[in-house]
Each structure stands twice: as C-alpha cells, then as structure tokens.
Amino acid sequence: MEPTVAREPAQALSRRAHGAAVEAAARRHLLAAGLQAVAANAHSRGGEIDLVMRDGGTLVFVEVRYRRSADFGGGAASVDIRKQRRLVHAAQVFLSRHPHYADLPCRFDVVEADGEPTAPRLNWLRDAFRADDC
C-alpha cells in the first residue's frame, strides 16, 4: 500500500492567494458599480459568504466563483441547490448576528470569474437565485 501524499502547503497557499485575488477583483468591480462593502468572508457553521454588500437599500450576499477556464461551464453553474441552501443559511446567520440589517430586502448575486486570478474576467449575475427557490 502506497503512503498518502499530503498536499504541499505552498500549493494550498497559492490556491488561497488566487481565491483572495479573485474576491478582491470582484469586490473592486462591485464597488465601482456603486455597491458599498459591508463584510467579507462572513463565516457561519454551515458555510461562508464571500462578500456582503449594500446596493442602495438592499443587502446583497455575493458568492464569487472562479474557474481557470469557462470551457466546462461558468462559475454560476457550480452554485447548485445544495450550495444555495448553504448560502441562504449563512445569510440567515449573518442577519441574526447583525440585526440592524434584518429589515432590509436581501438579494443573492454570483460573480463568475475566469482567466488569470490577478486579472480575471468577471461576469456579475444579479439576483442569481432567491432564498425561496431553495
């Protein structure tokens, strides 16, 4: 039996750094479009919300999905019903921790990214899914 090879820490760091670069690009894109940053990487037991933004009077929960290439479907295709449920749950936890946002209408957006992580091509899908869809 062959020994299990652990993933190199440098690879994990590189992957994490790529994810951070793509999320930063998405954040800059949304800020340039007039949204206001509220939070980033909002963790809950069941998941994480990449970005929480305000679009006027609407609270926007943003999932950023990076694919090196869009050849096998964009990032939005990977936000399946299971992932949507996790995001809705994480949003509910966020709202319970920040009750001053609880009365705002909410929206779930997805930002698809592909290409080079340091300069990705972005596609912003507003209202990508609704909480009652899950």
Give tens-digit pLDDT for 86-112: 999 999 999 999 999 999 999 999 999
CATH number belonging to the domain at 9-133, selected among 3.40.50.970, 3.40.1350.10, 1.20.1250.20, 3.30.870.10:
3.40.1350.10
- Give the distance from CA 98 to its chain's centroid: 19
Could you give the count of Cα atoms lying within 13 Å of 10 in the half-sphere of its Cβ?
0
Query: Does residue 4 register a pLDDT over 50?
Result: no
The rounded distance, in Å, linking the Cα atoms of 103 and 109 is 19
Query: Does residue 6 register a pLDDT over 90?
Result: no
CB atoms within 10 A of CB 13: 10
- 104 or 118, which is more confident: 104
Average pLDDT for 112-129: 92
Query: Looking at residue 3, what is its pLDDT?
Result: 47
Give tens-digit pLDDT for 46-90: 789 999 999 999 999 999 998 876 566 666 777 889 999 999 999
* Confidence (pTM): 0.85
Q: What is the DSSP string of the chain?
A: -PPPPPPPHHHHHHHHHHHHHHHHHHHHHHHHTT-EEEEEEEEETTEEEEEEEEETTEEEEEEEEEES-STT--GGGG--HHHHHHHHHHHHHHHHH-GGGTTS-EEEEEEEEES-TTS-EEEEEEEEE-GGG-
Query: Looking at residue 101, what is its pLDDT?
Result: 97
Sheet containing 58-67, strands listed edge to edge, beginning at the edge strand earlier in sequence:
36-44, 47-55, 58-67, 106-114, 121-129
Token pair of 19 as six digits: 């994810």
Average pLDDT for 3-26: 71
